Amino acid sequence: MNKLAVLSLIAVCLVVPGCRPKEFSFPADASNPWPHPVPSSPFFQVSPSDQSVKVGQSATFVSLASGVGSLSYQWYRDNAPIQGAQSATYILPVAKLEDDGARFRALVVDAHGSAWSLPAQLKVQIWLADLAISGIQAVLPEGPSLLPGGSLPLVIAATQASGPALATEGRGGGKVGWDNFTFQTEVVAVDAYGIVSLPEDPRVSDGVLPHLHASVVDRSDLAADLDIPVRYDGAFLCDVSGAAGAQGSSGSDGYSGFSGSMGSCDPDNPQAGGNGTDGGSGGSGGDGGPGAPGPDVQAWVCLHPGAVPRLEVKVATQSQVRYFLVDPHGGSLLLKGDGGAGGPGGNGGRGGAGGSGGYGCPNGSDGMSGSDGPGGSSGVGGPGGSITVWVDPAASPFLSTLHFSNKGGLPYGQDGPPPVIHVTPVEPLW
Q: 195-232: per-residue pLDDT in tens?
A: 999 999 999 999 999 999 999 999 999 999 999 999 99
**pLDDT of 86 above 70:** yes
Cβ pair 253, 352 in contact under 8 A: yes
Q: Could you tell me the residue range of the domain that residue 156 belongs to? A: 129-227
- Number of Cβ within 10 Å of residue 94's Cβ equals 11
**pLDDT of 252 above 90:** yes
Contacts of 162 (CB under 8 A, 6+ apart): 132
Query: Are 305 and 379 in the same domain?
Result: yes
What confidence tier does 164 reach under pLDDT thresholds 50, 70, 90?
A: confident
- Residue scoring higher pLDDT (341 or 10): 341
Out of 90, 125, 160, a domain closes at 125
The overall average pLDDT reported for the chain is 91
Query: Are 150 and 169 in the same domain?
Result: yes
Phi-psi region of 218 (alpha: psi -120 to 50; beta: other; left: phi over 0): left
**pLDDT of 7 above 70:** no
Domain assignment of residue 417, yes or no: yes
Domain assignment of residue 4, yes or no: no
Distance CA 329, CA 39 (A): 78
Query: Are 65 and 119 in the same domain?
Result: yes
Query: Are 177 and 223 in the same domain?
Result: yes
Out of 108, 125, 142, a domain closes at 125
**pLDDT of 192 above 50:** yes
Residues β-bridged to residue 299: 315, 389
Out of 184, 209, 227, a domain closes at 227
**pLDDT of 103 above 70:** yes
Domain assignment of residue 24, yes or no: no
What confidence tier does 35 reach under pLDDT thresholds 50, 70, 90?
A: very low
Domain assignment of residue 86, yes or no: yes
What confidence tier does 6 reach under pLDDT thresholds 50, 70, 90?
A: very low
What confidence tier does 161 reach under pLDDT thresholds 50, 70, 90?
A: confident
Query: Are 160 and 190 in the same domain?
Result: yes
Q: Which amino acid, one-letter code, is at 369?
A: S
How wide is the angle at C-alpha 426 spanned by C-alphas 421 and 429, nearest 5°? 115
Mean pLDDT calculated for residue range 409-429: 97
Domain assignment of residue 351, yes or no: no
Mean pLDDT calculated for residue range 322-351: 97
Domain assignment of residue 160, yes or no: yes
How wide is the angle at C-alpha 64 spanned by C-alphas 62 and 69, nearest 5°? 140
Distance CA 173, CA 231 (A): 27
Distance CA 343, CA 312 (A): 36
For the chain, how many structural domains are there in total? 3
Query: Are 134 and 173 in the same domain?
Result: yes
Query: Are 239 and 212 in the same domain?
Result: no
Cβ pair 50, 44 in contact under 8 A: no
Q: What share of the chain is helix, strand, coil (3-state, %, to 5)?
A: 10, 35, 60
Longest alpha-carbon distance in the chain: 110
pLDDT at position 130: 87
